[in-house]
Amino acid sequence: MLKPSLSLRRRWRLWFAVAAIMLSAAVAAGLGQIAKDPEPRWWKGNLHTHTLWSDGDNFPDLVAEWYRDHGYHFLALSDHNLLSQGELWMSAKAVNRRAGVDAVAKYRQRFGARWVDARGSAAEGNEEIRLKTLDEVRSLVEERGRFLMIPAEELTGTAGDGRSLHMNASNLAEQLVFQAGSTMRESILRNLQMVDQSAKRTGRDVLLHVNHPNYKWGLTAEDLAGVVDERFFEVWNGVDNDNDPGDATHPDTETIWDIANTLRIVRYHAAPLYGLATDDSHDHHDNKTRAVPGRAWVMVRSRYLHAGALIQAIRRGDFYATTGITLADVTFDRTARTLSLQIEPQAGAEFVTRFMGTRKGVALEGKPRRDAQGQPVETTLDYRTASGPQIGEVFAEVKGRTPSYTLRGDELYVRAVVTSTLKPVVESSELPLQRAWTQPVGWQ
């Protein structure tokens, strides 16, 4: 009687011991483990990208892989007026014509026949390839804490006055249709309201930002100032010839930013805009240079690599825009009223930081800009005075890797823009040297 019961007890003990060892091994291997309170850190992401789903020239899975393999943590494929859902077949010939290379062969070479869905016949010239949906792409490239895809759509259209408006909605749960109002401002507002309603309906935080304001000279600083509920725009878009630097009669995007911020604070008693940098990449085959990946991105500070957490951080202004410069830290001490940056070193690079903004009491009488023939140009008004620019004034210029600026009290806001002596890794005709932009502070 006694012997079998002991042996049974021993067997149970052994079983428990084995189970305990397996459990601790699993924990040690990090299975299912999430740090309790991870420290906030910087995540690198691009919120503006095109694929074959609209007018980009590569398959979405290859585009997503490129970003994952180049140090990015998150990516929004933001094709024009659609979310990459449902079944879409594309003629192999049309794909290759658009790419200017044998993109279909490259696609097959990378993923093999099991992943690539084809129908028809290449020999008969009627082969078609199915574009992978966002869900399929996610299954291929996503990894917790390492790489995240954010569903997005570039709401693309024309305002009733004929001007071009593109806005990116990031973290959308449903496809939306561009809303045209009679004016640019009304159009921005209508799309913003539509996105907000969708966000409420679907329980998602959706970020809507205005894209490339100078593309086709679509937007003015007054437009961006006038819709105070819109808080985000692209201070830099990686596409060459989308006019970020402005021209003789149109201000550059940074000047637009300062004018819009000043008008918002003084005229509308509203918060300034936050600036993003994005690639807006379309050309993914190294054979074209207009809209290539890797030119411009955002760094967002958040505890988690999660769309909601990233968008919350962007809403707080806890991010910066860059074309190559990396910041270890950006802080605004609200008590001391000091904005401080820590710039990561790069071999051979020297840095100059300009602290810019506008002072209280600024003259806000804008004059129409005129072309060479003296005709008024329909664009942002000219607020420069005889004694120089009062809007977007350079308060201080600081060299080195730890620049800081303490507000003296008469600033409406201040922001920092860092310029490096290095060229961007992916060169651009519009931007000779690497730059980074932090968000306006001191306006609260």
Q: Which residues bind Zn ion (CB under 5 A)?
A: 154, 166, 211, 280
Structure tokens belonging to residue 86: 């449902």
Distance CA 283, CA 294 (A): 11
Residues 279 and 428 sit within 8 Å (Cβ to Cβ): no
Least distance to Zn ion, CB of residue 167, Å: 9
Q: Which amino acid is at 233?
A: F
* Dist. CA 390–CA 440, nearest whole Å: 16
Which of 243, 235, 229, 236 is CA-nearest to residue 199? Answer: 229
CA nearest to 304, candidates 39, 32, 30:
39
Q: Of 250, 196, 261, which Cα lies nearest the Cα of 224? A: 261
Least distance to Zn ion from the beta carbon of 211, Å?
Answer: 5
Query: Residue 377: beta bridge partners?
Result: 369
Specify the residue, 154 or 240, whose C-beta has the smaller distance to Zn ion.
154
Query: Looking up tokens 């600033």, which residue turns up?
Result: 411
The answer to whether 53 and 88 are in contact (CB under 8 A) is yes
- Cβ proximity to Zn ion: between 49 and 302 the closer is 49
Closer CB to Zn ion, residue 213 or residue 317?
A: 213
279, 272, 274: which is closest to 242 by C-alpha? Answer: 279
Residue 202 CB, shortest distance to Zn ion, in Å, is 23
Number of other residues whose CB lies within 10 A of the CB of residue 246? 17
Q: Which is nearer to Zn ion, 431 or 441 (CB)?
A: 431
Helical residues (DSSP H) of 113-206, grouped into ranges? 134-141, 184-202
Task: Work out how close the CB of 166 gets to Zn ion at its nearest, in angstroms, rounded to a whole number.
Answer: 3
- DSSP structure class, residue 156: E
CB of 191 or CB of 419, closer to Zn ion: 191
Inter-helix orientation angle 60-69/103-111, to 10°: 60
User: Left if phi > 0, otherwise alpha if psi is -120 to 50, otherwise beta: which for 125?
Assistant: left
At its nearest, how many Å lie between Zn ion and the CB of residue 242? 8
Residue among 157 and 246 whose Cβ is closer to Zn ion: 157
Q: Give the CB-nearest residue to Zn ion.
A: 166
| Closer Cβ to Zn ion, 81 or 406, answer by number | 81
- Smallest distance from Zn ion to CB 78, Å: 6
Residue 267, classed as helix, strand or coil, is helix
The total of other beta-carbon atoms located within 10 Å of residue 344's CB is 12
Smallest separation (angstroms) from Zn ion to the CB of 49: 8
Rounded Cα–Cα distance for residues 104 and 89 (Å): 13
Tell me whether residue 242 or residue 411 sits nearer to Zn ion (CB atom).
242
Helices (H), 29-111: 60-69, 92-99, 103-111
Which is nearer to Zn ion, 280 or 430 (by Cβ)? 280
* Least distance from Zn ion to the Cβ atom of residue 61, Å: 19
- In the bound complex, what is the minimum distance in angstroms from residue 197's beta carbon to Zn ion? 23
Q: Which is nearer to Zn ion, 62 or 219 (CB)?
A: 219
Please, what is the minimum distance in Å from the beta carbon of residue 243 to Zn ion?
12
- 77 in Cβ contact with 137 (< 8 Å): yes
d(C-alpha 326, C-alpha 99), whole Å: 32
Min dist CB 36 to Zn ion, Å, is 39
Contact 275, 362 (CB under 8 A): no
